[in-house]
Amino acid sequence: MTAAAVIADAARTMPHTLRSLELTDEITAELTVLVGFDQDLAAEATRTSNRIRGLLTQFHPSLERVLGPRLDHPAVTWLLERHGSPAAPRKAGRRKLVEVIRPKAPRIAQRLIDEVFDALAEQTVVVPGTGTLDLVIPSLARSLAAVHEQRRALEAQIGQLLEAHPLSAVLTSIPGVAVRTAATLLVTVGDGTGFPTAAHLASYAGLAPTTKSSGTSIHGEHAPRGGNRQLKHAMFLSAFAALHDPVSRTYYDRCRARGKTHTQALLRLARQRINVLFAMLRDGTFYEPPAPHPA
């Protein structure tokens, strides 16, 4: 029987299977576009955050230490939109800022504003050009807040598409894999049938550790520079997010105990999770933590 006859017979006797395949392909195609756009927005958010942190470091390093690591928080971008220079929070007053920030950050409002005013008190010298922050910082903060809002809306769209994909529940059952990571895995790995072994998948992800050698010397372990950057980044971040999982944490701690650096231990954990991902996709099974070994 020819290939055309097989397809025609399948369409007649099993139409639901063909529709499912078409639906899955359509979801994957849409996810590819949305994931790419989300990554563009993430890069834009990083650039804008770095610009804000650079300006704060230049004019008021103490304030940057307080606000810089928290630029992802809506309360911090809101504060910078309205009080961009060091003089602006002082003018508004501690009590007023706590009141207006509290609805956006009820758990950290008092502590955040206290840390801001402590940082302001640390620096008594006004650096020339500080006044320009009233114009530049609020503009950058508005841009950053808009990008964060776009990403939140985009994540909801990605989540809706992901729910309709048959592999969604399989992928999100892995500790540390949320909506964005699961979508990235789908668009880069698919159902995993393109990879004969877990080692092939690890190589494609750029997570097959190698060592540099020169003569009789063997240098530190590192991840190859090649591989799919999207997949490598997703696996690395998911490994970091999975450190709350007891099994992942135990593996990570064991690597650290053997002298691995934080990054090397995360790379090893990401590589180990490639094995888990491959087996789950191959068998179509949900994640199950390994059974504890008998004492």
pLDDT at 223 (0 to 100): 57
How confident is the model over 88-107, as pLDDT tens digits?
Answer: 999 999 999 999 999 999 99
With a cut of 70, say whether residue 65 has pLDDT above it: yes
Give the list of residues 6+ apart from residue 275 with CB closer than 8 angstroms, or none: 198, 202
**pLDDT score recorded for residue 24:** 81
Computed over every residue of the chain, the mean pLDDT equals: 87
Q: Are residues 151 and 177 in the same domain?
A: no
125 and 196 in a common domain: no
For the chain, the domain total comes to: 2
Give residue for tokens 């964005």.
180
Q: What is the pLDDT of residue 18?
A: 41
Q: Which of 231, 182, 181, 177 is nearest to 203 (CA)?
A: 231
- The verdict on 152 and 76 lying in the same domain is yes
Greatest Cα pair distance in the chain: 86
- Residue 2 falls within a domain, yes or no? no
Alpha carbon separation from 169 to 10, 162, 174, 178, 179 (Å, rounded): 27, 9, 9, 10, 10
Question: Domain check: are 21 and 127 in the same one?
Answer: yes
Query: 171 falls in which pLDDT band (50, 70, 90)?
Result: very high
Give the domain range for residue 184. Answer: 168-210+225-283
Same domain, 104 and 241: no
Residue 265 lies in a domain: yes
Lowest mean pLDDT among 11-15, 65-69, 70-74, 254-258: 11-15
> Do residues 151 and 188 share a domain?
no
In this structure, how many other beta carbons lie within 10 angstroms of the beta carbon of residue 161? 19
In a domain, 271, yes or no: yes
In a domain, 4, yes or no: no
Total Cβ atoms within 10 A of residue 155 = 17
- Does a structural domain hold residue 291? no
pLDDT above 90 for 34 = yes
5-29 per-position pLDDT tens digit: 544 454 444 443 444 446 688 999 9
- Give residue 227's pLDDT: 84
* Together in a domain, 246 and 273: yes
C-alpha angle 20-3-278 in degrees, rounded to nearest 5 = 50
Share of the chain above pLDDT 90, in %: 78
66 with 26, same domain: the answer is: yes
In a domain, 295, yes or no: no
